[in-house]
Structure 1
């Protein structure tokens, strides 16, 4: 299946999370549709590539798209944001810092800080997590964290230089301090393990969450052999 419900919870009032698997050539991304079961309002995270799959997911869940959440401005995370926002007449949310750093613009774009807001019965809590890009944002919705390219199940996104690596270390430390062990993690890409893992389990097998300080982290994250095309290296 290209669209699967993977929220991992039995609470009928909890947000429902649907994974939409999309691809373009060698790029494979996870798009997420999060639906409030009470109002049937939905938000979409980092839409890219195959627009028909997104239309189909909205139709099959009988939900109304009320907004688009962007974790960062890389092309494989923003590809369909503007056309979908125009089609469904909804806002696009991105961190103010990422907008300023990237120059991304769209008629429906709304610059946000870390102030939470509500879509239907869903509380959306943005968490600024720079490192992969200057204004990366993770989004906590219910018991679910959407991490883009900041945190993968087994690793973390590429960093361009020592300052970015230092920021990434601090962002991962922030997530470690704030997240409940039972929070489910939904990254922008799948490598070995499927999305939706409990944060406690991610801690158990993600080495990037266990460096003692930012200098040790940066030395490993920036080691030779890394490149923009290799977001993750297990060696």
Structure 2
């Protein structure tokens, strides 16, 4: 039985973040509940597999679900989007690029470009970060960035080909330009370090943020052993 972490992280009294860790072999995923303590409205990010885990998290926080954010359309990040949206009568957001490239559809789906919006009074700034998939999106909410499979604490998401790897390099370079060092990083998967480290601290662990060119980055990202089977298994 999966349970949310017992102590949600308070981010400058703007929102709280609760990590909800779920698993289904060979996947271990981080999904998140973001809650506005002033209103009790909440968002879920990339929910999958364990409906009861999300129901418990919402109930424990006395939260009203205002929407679901999808970072990218791989099944381990979208599995419960439609059932939760139906259960709580809320919208599901995914980038226009990701919806078009993947064919992902749910009845309450809404798409976006890069204009910020509010859901349940919670301001959301999307940052389109192609690489792992064509329309992968990071969500900047308060002092948190939810990165899906674009940026991990120790690495970045696998890429299907060289063009995608070069796009990933550009996306990571863009994050380096945009983000203050104090923003906390909440990735879709954890390997050694826990989610919620500051972006400044992530540089201590993440070699993929140190490359000086797209060519060198792509050569390393696509090194032998980074098979398509691995890409699908750890997407």
Match of 2:40 in 1: 40
Distance in 2 (alpha carbons) for counterparts of 1:186 and 1:27? 17
1:17 aligns with 2:20: no
1:53 aligns with 2:53: yes
Match of 1:7 in 2: 9
1:181 aligns with 2:178: no
- Tell me the TM-score normalized by structure 2: 0.95
- Tell me the TM-score normalized by structure 1: 0.95
Match of 1:209 in 2: 209
1:27 aligns with 2:55: no
Distance in 1 (alpha carbons) for counterparts of 2:215 and 2:129? 18
String of CA shifts for 1:96-154, please: whole Å, max 9, x gaps.
00000000111100011111111344210000000000000000000000000000000
5+ residue gaps, structure 2, are none
Match of 1:140 in 2: 140
Match of 2:85 in 1: 85
TM-superposed CA distance for 1:224, in Å, is 0.6
Q: Tell me the number of residue pairs that the alignment of Structure 1 and Structure 2 aligns.
A: 230
Distance in 1 (alpha carbons) for counterparts of 2:108 and 2:150? 25
Q: How does 1:188-199 map to 2 (within 5 A)?
A: 188-199=188-199
Distance in 2 (alpha carbons) for counterparts of 1:22 and 1:30? 7
TM-superposed CA distance for 1:166, in Å, is 0.6
String of CA shifts for 1:10-65, please: whole Å, max 9, x gaps.
x3x31000001101122110010000001110000000011100000000000000
Match of 1:102 in 2: 102
Moved beyond 4 Å, runs of 4+: none
Distance in 2 (alpha carbons) for counterparts of 1:185 and 1:125? 14
Task: Name the SS for the 2:9 alignment partner.
Answer: coil
Match of 2:164 in 1: 164
Distance in 2 (alpha carbons) for counterparts of 1:210 and 1:49? 35
5+ residue gaps, structure 1, are none
Distance in 2 (alpha carbons) for counterparts of 1:86 and 1:8? 29
Distance in 2 (alpha carbons) for counterparts of 1:122 and 1:97? 23
Q: Is the 8 A contact 1:132 1:164 kept in 2?
A: yes
Q: Is the 8 A contact 1:41 1:65 kept in 2?
A: yes
String of CA shifts for 1:55-86, please: whole Å, max 9, x gaps.
00000000000000000000000000000000
Match of 1:225 in 2: 225
Distance in 1 (alpha carbons) for counterparts of 2:229 and 2:129? 21
